[in-house]
Amino acid sequence: MPGSGDTMLYEILDDRFRTGRCANGDDRLEKLYGDCRWAEGPVYLPAWRQLIWSDIPNDRMLRWDEETGAVSVFRRQAGHSNGNTLDREGRLISCEQGNRRVTRTEPDGTVTVLADRYDGKRLNSPNDAVVRSDGSVWFSDPDFGITSDYEGFRAEPELDGLNVYRIDPGTGEVRLVADCFGAPNGLVFSPDERQLYVSDTRARVIRVFDVRDDGTLSDGEVFARAADGTGSFDNLRFDDGGRLWAAAMEGGVHCYDPDGTLIGRLNIPEPVSNIAFGGPKNNRLFLTATTSLYSVVMGVTGLPRVARRA
């Protein structure tokens, strides 16, 4: 039966969570898989009705089939991949934090390197990526993959700072667009692409930047702060009502009104790393949470998969 209020899964903090039908989906989570070491990077492939995600310490990418429920290995020796997304042609974009690069998987299965250096120096460990409607690829570059051998390979950083970059769709040039982060992580554009939201995991905030016509960013400001005892932030997604959903580690999944008010939560039994909307109607929320992949059919629908041009 569809939910209609507070349950063990939904926590209503503001009536806008109720009136927006955010709690009107399934009353419980469905566990799809549970044998990862640390799961991240879910992305739904509508043409194949499959979900691909990363199991970073095991250096593999997994594939879940929506029709059969079967899970198989999509790619071994995956460069300790983290975040995954699709470009406007439906090709897989992956952040390989072990290989310290951003790649694209072509239709024939070959892998094209989109970025592995900035200003002649190796990237730290690309974490999450988002594609704008002009074809540019934006990615975060914290140090999670070089601080130890658990999620990559321990190494000294070559770059100063942990930054966000943009890959030009025509020239392939990598441009620094935002810096001064504790650890930049999840990225998402607003529905009209005029703003970029970035989670800073170590600072426990979500920052928002205005996107200028030339592809540069404003200085940015804090959109939301993690409350005490509610974890930090990882990746971010919008629904088509303009609400921002944030994977909040031990805090589950947070839902923010466009004005920045935390209006509700999804309570998850494991710390949540990443979320992604998918399914035929784009209203099934997939969650990677520590060792597991979960899903819940929601009362809201994710932002359209193909971004509208600003």
User: Which pLDDT score, from 0 to 100, does residue 191 have?
Assistant: 95
Distance CA 181, CA 163 (A): 7
pLDDT at 148 over 60: yes
Confidence of residue 104 (pLDDT cuts 50, 70, 90): very high
Structure tokens, 61: 């990418």
Distance CA 82, CA 60 (A): 10
User: Which pLDDT score, from 0 to 100, does residue 1 have?
Assistant: 34
pTM: 0.95
Confidence of residue 306 (pLDDT cuts 50, 70, 90): low
Mean pLDDT in residue range 115-123: 98
pLDDT at 203 over 80: yes
Closest Cα to residue 95, out of 79, 117, 75? 79
Confidence of residue 304 (pLDDT cuts 50, 70, 90): confident
Strands 71-76 and 137-141, how do they pair?
Answer: unpaired
Neighbour count for residue 177 (Cβ, 10 Å): 19
User: Which pLDDT score, from 0 to 100, does residue 135 have?
Assistant: 95
Question: What is the 3-state secondary structure of 234-291?
Answer: CCEEEECCCCEEEECECCCEEEECCCCCEEEEECCCCCECEEEEECCCCCEEEEEECC
- Quick one: what percent of the chain has pLDDT higher than 90? 92
Least confident window among 4-8, 30-34, 116-120: 4-8
pLDDT at 290 over 80: yes
Mean pLDDT in residue range 254-279: 97
Task: Output the CA–CA distances (angstroms, integers) from residue 164 to 128, 130, 143, 199, 245, in the order listed.
Answer: 10, 11, 12, 11, 20
In the DSSP assignment, the letter for residue 211 is B
For residues 271 and 250, the answer to whether their CB atoms sit within 8 Å is: yes
Mean pLDDT in residue range 40-54: 97
Q: Cα angle vertex 303, ends 129, 296, to 5°?
A: 95
Confidence of residue 309 (pLDDT cuts 50, 70, 90): low
Residues in the chain: 310
Per DSSP, the three-state class of 17 is helix
Mean pLDDT in residue range 187-214: 96
User: Which pLDDT score, from 0 to 100, does residue 168 have?
Assistant: 97
Structure tokens, 198: 């970035």
